[in-house]
Structure 1
Amino acid sequence: MARAGLPLARIAARPEPAGRSERVREIVAAGLALLAAEGADALTMRRLGDEIGIRAASLYKHLPGKPALEAALVETGLFEMGDALHAVVDAAGPADVVAALLAEYRRFALMSANLYRLATSGRIDRSLLTPGLDGWSGEPFYRATGDPWVAQALFAAAHGAVILEMDSAYSDMSDLDATWRALARAFTT
């Protein structure tokens, strides 16, 4: 619920990711492809090494282990999602910002379901991410609502709705588009 007079301007600057070597970018790209195709259980250093044609032990020269690999994948996803959500909030007017934000959130999560699950599962050591990334990538929820607690409630509702959709937990008779529109209306004044 973007309140009248509340600017939808960005609050924090986009954090700058640490530079990655060409090899790390190649490893992350291969990890993203493997994650998208087969899920998080397929992400082993051995399997990733096979995918890019190097020994698993050589991967450790570039990333210190699977937690660092998963954090690099999540970081990539959070930057992509944050950019997409900020762009939507930048373009939307106050009357439709919540609906536009939710539509983009849903689109991104469903398009990158395995990455979304990895990023939101809670098993990533957030200290391995670029400082400020977590807050910046979630900031569009605050920009859309103008209230930190409402923003958190909106995120929680969107996350729950998208996980239920990914898990096919809704009734076969459900109209999920109507459900998402109702969610947007519930958070719009």
Structure 2
Amino acid sequence: MADRARQIMAAARELLDAEGPDALSMRRIAEHVGIRAPSLYKHFPDKAAVEAGLQAQGMTRLAEDMEAVEARTGADVSLLVLARAYRRHALTSPHLYRITHSRPLARTALPEGLEDRAAMPLARAVHGDIDIARSFWAFAHGMVVLELDGRFPPGADLDAAWRTGCEAFARMIRNKPRKDTA
């Protein structure tokens, strides 16, 4: 990526983090970089391409966060440990989380293998059972979005809710025969 394209992506990320996705207009991004909006189109064909770049950043960060947890805890990382890292990932940069995980994913614009890389720690934790992995991701994503939207009642023990959900999935994994042995 050329220097100007990196500056544009950095400006888009700063605007996203500070003001949310509504701040991502080509005009606002250009102003932030200090150029005229038409100059952006030399580097990105449209706003969707900028958002795709932000999704790639979000997926890369998720992959790095999950891999870091796995590296610290070993191959038998628990679902609760992964869930805590996922929650922290989302709450640290909520606007980046939403643009990455709550909108259609620009898969064709992602670096090859990035989506799989981000999913692998969870896939390993559930012994490769894609149905459990998808269900667990839906649980974690739902919990995060509800928390970001302030939908839990005041005083709700979210740590207990996460723990309960993770324990339920862990029981499911323990009680289900592995696909490679069944």
The answer for the alignment partner of 1:56 in structure 2 is 37
- State whether residues 76 and 125 of structure 2, in contact with CA within 8 Å, keep that contact through their aligned partners in structure 1: no
Matching residue's letter, 1:184: C
Structure 1 segment 36-115 matched on structure 2, within 5 A? 36-93=17-74, 96-115=77-96
Higher percent of residues as helix? 2
TM-score (norm 2): 0.87
For CA contacts below 8 A with separation 6 or more, give which structure has more relative contact order: 1
Cα displacement string for residues 76-120 of structure 1 (whole angstroms, at most 9, x for unaligned residues): 111111011012123224665211110110001011101111111
Structure 1 segment 23-38 matched on structure 2, within 5 A? 23-38=4-19
SS in 2 for 1:122: coil
| 1:170 paired to 2:152 | yes
TM-score (norm 1): 0.84
Distance 1:104 1:94 in 2: 15
- State whether residues 30 and 48 of structure 1, in contact with CA within 8 Å, keep that contact through their aligned partners in structure 2: yes
SS in 2 for 1:188: helix
SS in 1 for 2:170: coil
- State whether residues 67 and 124 of structure 1, in contact with CA within 8 Å, keep that contact through their aligned partners in structure 2: no
The answer for unaligned runs of 5 or more in structure 2 is 172-182
Distance 1:33 1:53 in 2: 14
Distance 1:39 1:134 in 2: 23
Moved over 4 A (4+): 93-96
**1:116 maps to which of 73, 97, 109:** 97
- State whether residues 69 and 82 of structure 2, in contact with CA within 8 Å, keep that contact through their aligned partners in structure 1: yes
- State whether residues 70 and 77 of structure 2, in contact with CA within 8 Å, keep that contact through their aligned partners in structure 1: no
The answer for unaligned runs of 5 or more in structure 1 is 1-19
**1:142 maps to which of 123, 129, 137:** 123
- State whether residues 79 and 125 of structure 2, in contact with CA within 8 Å, keep that contact through their aligned partners in structure 1: yes
SS in 2 for 1:187: helix
Cα displacement string for residues 104-146 of structure 1 (whole angstroms, at most 9, x for unaligned residues): 1000101110111111123343212112222221222101111
Give the root-mean-square deviation of aligned CA atoms. Answer: 1.5
Matching residue's letter, 1:26: Q
- State whether residues 110 and 166 of structure 1, in contact with CA within 8 Å, keep that contact through their aligned partners in structure 2: yes
Compared with structure 1, are the counterparts of its residues 95 and 184 closer, same or farther at alpha carbon in structure 2 (3 Å cutoff)? farther
- State whether residues 77 and 125 of structure 2, in contact with CA within 8 Å, keep that contact through their aligned partners in structure 1: no
Identity of aligned residues (%): 42
- State whether residues 106 and 162 of structure 1, in contact with CA within 8 Å, keep that contact through their aligned partners in structure 2: yes
